[in-house]
Copies of this chain bind each other. A is one copy, B any other.
């Protein structure tokens, strides 16, 4: 007669075999083509999660950071948050008749695309203040949420939250399945991205780090505590701001960092400085047909906050960072692609 104990052992062995077979059969990165970029992600997870590896990272220290615009979703022809700001100007215009004859609002209201591209940083700042400040944090959350529910990207006729890159969503999911906390680290507004990050990326608000206003604690007419959004920038989460803010929020080094521009350069450098077997990747936009082509792939001028310059490309190559070619490394770019 078989003992109960040997019976359990057999069941357990079967379950382990089945689980292992399922895991091998399922490609965790199905939207990635085979190649060095895909292999780099698989290798990174292998060497940092195997307790026998010299580069094993204990679970609590498993942090992966992702830039957003151009890294996890489309940033062309204009940052989504700028589209929000410009459309918000149009929405608020009836309460500001003076905007019809005041710059930069007049340009925004004209809808003249050529003129829009000539706005200075100071102009953009004026527009951001007019559309992003002077309300409570809860009110701002509601305004962004309402806008996201109805705004549509013109090229693909889809909500902006539908323009995330499927291969990056898979990389985030795969890292999380292996004990990594995934963070969005964005030059964009922290409070803007937090509205949809959980639903869109599976990243809870406390793991969204971004440019942030100071808030001001005060009291409502009913005497309740409220947080207002005054027009004062606290964190500029671009360039050096990225490693500084990752440290501020987590006290840790990221072990894997994904970016696409000079705005992410310092984040990748500081990830590498943490030692071990870190992973640094940058997305090259070289697919004009399925998405856009800009940066060193096209020799195009790049007027964004951060740009994928030839110097960044050279730094990546010399330091062993992986350049992700959207054209070659990604089997599909969007979840809804055929």
In the complex the two chains form, is B216's CB within 8 Å of A240's CB?
Answer: yes
Quick one: CB contact mask for A211-241 with B, threshold 8 Å, 1 for yes? 0101111000000111100000010000010
Of B181, B204, B212, B240, which is within 8 A of A248 by CB? B212
Q: Does A191 contact B (CB under 8 A)?
A: yes
In the complex the two chains form, is B227's CB within 8 Å of A194's CB?
Answer: no
* Residues from chain B with Cβ under 8 Å of A266 in the complex: 217, 225
**Residue on B with the closest CB to A204?**
B60
In the complex the two chains form, is A244's CB within 8 Å of B270's CB?
Answer: no
Q: What distance in Å separates the Cβ of A235 from its nearest Cβ neighbour in chain B?
A: 8
Q: Does A295 contact B (CB under 8 A)?
A: no
In the complex the two chains form, is B269's CB within 8 Å of A215's CB?
Answer: no
Q: Considering the chains assembled together, what is the distance between the CA atoms of A250 and B206 in angstroms? A: 4
In the complex the two chains form, is A247's CB within 8 Å of B215's CB?
Answer: yes
**Residue on B with the closest CB to A193?**
B251
Within 8 A of B (CB), among A237-295: 240, 243-244, 247-252, 266, 269-270, 272-273
In the complex the two chains form, is B244's CB within 8 Å of A215's CB?
Answer: yes
Of B217, B244, B249, B273, which is within 8 A of A214 by CB? B244
* Residues from chain B with Cβ under 8 Å of A208 in the complex: 251
Q: Considering the chains assembled together, what is the distance between the CA atoms of A71 and B247 in angstroms? A: 26
Q: Does A137 contact B (CB under 8 A)?
A: yes
How many copies of this protein are present in the complex? Answer: 2
Q: Does A104 contact B (CB under 8 A)?
A: no
Q: Considering the chains assembled together, what is the distance between the CA atoms of A214 and B273 in angstroms? A: 20
In the complex the two chains form, is A244's CB within 8 Å of B273's CB?
Answer: no
Q: What distance in Å separates the Cβ of A243 from its nearest Cβ neighbour in chain B?
A: 5
In the complex the two chains form, is A225's CB within 8 Å of B60's CB?
Answer: no
Q: Considering the chains assembled together, what is the distance between the CA atoms of A247 and B234 in angstroms? A: 13
Q: Does A205 contact B (CB under 8 A)?
A: yes
In the complex the two chains form, is A227's CB within 8 Å of B250's CB?
Answer: no
Of B60, B137, B248, B272, which is within 8 A of A247 by CB? B137
* Residues from chain B with Cβ under 8 Å of A247 in the complex: 137, 215, 227
Q: Considering the chains assembled together, what is the distance between the CA atoms of A244 and B228 in angstroms? A: 9
Can you pick out 18 interface pairs between chain A and chain B where the beta carbons lie within 8 Å of each other? A60-B204, A190-B251, A191-B251, A205-B250, A206-B206, A206-B251, A215-B247, A216-B244, A217-B240, A217-B243, A225-B266, A225-B272, A227-B243, A227-B244, A227-B270, A234-B234, A234-B248, A249-B249
- Smallest CB-CB A-B distances: 5 pairs: A205-B251, A217-B240, A225-B270, A225-B269, A206-B250
* A interface residues (Cβ-Cβ under 8 A, vs B): 60, 137, 181, 190-191, 194, 198, 204-206, 208, 212, 214-217, 224-227, 234, 240, 243-244, 247-252, 266, 269-270, 272-273
List 12 additional A-B contacts (Cβ < 8 Å) besides A60-B204, A216-B244.
A181-B206, A190-B248, A191-B251, A205-B251, A215-B247, A216-B240, A217-B270, A224-B273, A225-B272, A226-B273, A227-B244, A227-B247
